Amino acid sequence: MMNRIALFLMTTVMVLMLAACGTGNGLTKAEREAAITRQVQEGLDTRHYTIAVDWMKPLGGMARHVSSNYELKVNGDEVDSYLPYVGEAYHLPYGGGKGLNFKGKIQDYSINYLTSNRSHIEFTADSGEDTFFFRIDVFNNGKAIIDIIPRDRDAISFDGEMTF
């Protein structure tokens, strides 16, 4: 009786171990990294990418984790910014305005490949109530740093990752 229980437990453990090994997609770590690098490069080359934000760093304030679906989308010549804002504003419309939640045309877009694993993007966009200068550093692993310098507000930075 004891041998049957031990045999059953051993068989169960082996089946679970084999199932766990078979759940991977069959790619090595290097192959996964290369695939992410290709996706990042394709998004940057076509100017169609989304950066999901998980941290914000207000000027003069502490970094804060953001728990919502905040993101910055670049679609060709348009930017769709859905980002939180904390900081001092110098000129605001009545009611507080839209902050960093707007869609706008991109102006003066440039991209520079600074190193083999880092790209630097700059552009400006107008929300109708403020003009924003964007500086974005994107790494081959998809991680990104977004610095936004508004004309009428304090600057703010975000950390996030490209989504595919």
pLDDT digits (tens, 9 = 90+) for 34-54: 999 999 999 999 999 999 999
Query: pTM of the prediction?
Result: 0.81
Q: 1.10.150.120, 2.40.128.410, 3.40.50.150, 3.30.9.30: which CATH number matches 47-163?
A: 2.40.128.410
Measured CA to CA, the distance from residue 19 to residue 30 in angstroms comes to 23
Contact 139/64 with Cβ under 8 angstroms? no
CB of 69 closer than 8 Å to CB of 84: no
Q: List residues bridging with 115 in a β-sheet.
A: 118
Section 133-142 average pLDDT: 98
Q: What is the pLDDT of residues 96-135, one digit of tens each?
A: 678 899 999 999 999 999 888 999 999 999 999 999 999 9
Q: Is the pLDDT of residue 95 over 80?
A: no
Closest Cα partner for 161 from 77, 60, 43? 43
pLDDT band at 74 (very low <50, low <70, confident <90, very high): very high
- pLDDT class of 68 with cuts at 50, 70, 90: confident
- Please state the rounded mean pLDDT for residues 7-14: 54
